[in-house]
Amino acid sequence: MSLRLLAAEEKRQLLASLAESYGVDEDALEGCEVLEGEEGYWAVSPLVTSLPLKKLRTDSIGLLLARSRGGGVTPTVAALQLFARPQRDALRLSKADASAFIDRKAITVETTEGLHVVFSGSHALDMGEVRDGRLARVKSRNRAETESRD
């Protein structure tokens, strides 16, 4: 895997964008380095990047933070669950609706149309999209992978 360490200003811009659009807490990533690869952006503890990664036959490092898409970036489920904090567009679900949401069942909600970071309790679940008053999870290649089970 070929990864490039983002310079401080590049990292600041990326995190500001994720904070603005998805409520990702910039401070939560303060201790992490951010690297850019073909798939997108990775958050990783700094000491990891000092390892002899090639000699160790490295498959992946850190946590895939966001994917590059059409000039923008979309955070992964794992990143949202670790770093997202409730903000103005956040959508909070009851336990029953949260179960339905993660099972990819569309549920009726009363909120604005478009993308929302969806929460159950104080922890994020995933990103959802509201159309015609129905909320459904946003599909992506990464999401399919992160939902595989033991």
Partner 1 sequence: MTSLPPALGERLALILGDEYDAYLRQLDAPPRACLRVNTLKTTVAEVRGLVSEQGASLEPVPWCPTGFWVDDKDEDGARVKSGAQGLGASVEHFQGLFYLQDAASLLPPEALSPAGDDVVMDAAAAPGGKATHLAALMSNGGALVANEVDTHRTKVLRFNLNRMGVVNAAVTTLDMTRLPDAGRIFDKILLDAPCSCEGRIQEDAEALAQWRPAKIQRCSRLQRRLLETCFSLLSPGGALVYSTCTLSPEENEEVIDHLLKSRGDADVEEITGLSGRHAGGLPEWRGASYDDRVTRCLRLYPHHHGTQGFFVARIRKCR
Q: Which amino acid is at 103?
A: D
Q: Among residues 59 and 132, whose Cβ is nearest to partner 1?
A: 59
Q: Which amino acid is at 93?
A: L
Q: Among residues 60 and 112, whose Cβ is nearest to partner 1?
A: 60
Binding site for partner 1 (CB under 8 A): 31-32, 43-45, 47-48, 50-53, 55-64, 76-78, 81-82, 95, 98-99, 102, 120-121, 123-125, 145-150
DSSP state of 36: E
Q: Among residues 91 and 112, whose Cβ is nearest to partner 1?
A: 91
Q: Among residues 46 and 114, whose Cβ is nearest to partner 1?
A: 46
Q: Among residues 88 and 149, whose Cβ is nearest to partner 1?
A: 149
Task: Give the angle subtended at the CA of 143 by the CAs of 129 and 13, to the nearest 5°.
Answer: 75
Yes or no: say if 65 and 79 are a contact pair by the CB < 8 Å rule. yes
Instruction: Report the candidate in 58, 67, 65 with the shortest Cα–Cα distance to residue 39.
Output: 67
CA dihedral of 116, 120, 126, 127, whole degrees rounded to 10: -10
Task: Give the angle subtended at the CA of 83 by the CAs of 77 and 89, to the nearest 5°.
Answer: 80
Q: Give the shortest CB-71-to-partner 1 separation in angstroms.
A: 25
Q: Which amino acid is at 51?
A: L
Q: Give the shortest CB-134-to-partner 1 separation in angstroms.
A: 20
Q: Give the shortest CB-120-to-partner 1 separation in angstroms.
A: 5
Q: Give the shortest CB-106-to-partner 1 separation in angstroms.
A: 17
Q: Give the shortest CB-68-to-partner 1 separation in angstroms.
A: 18
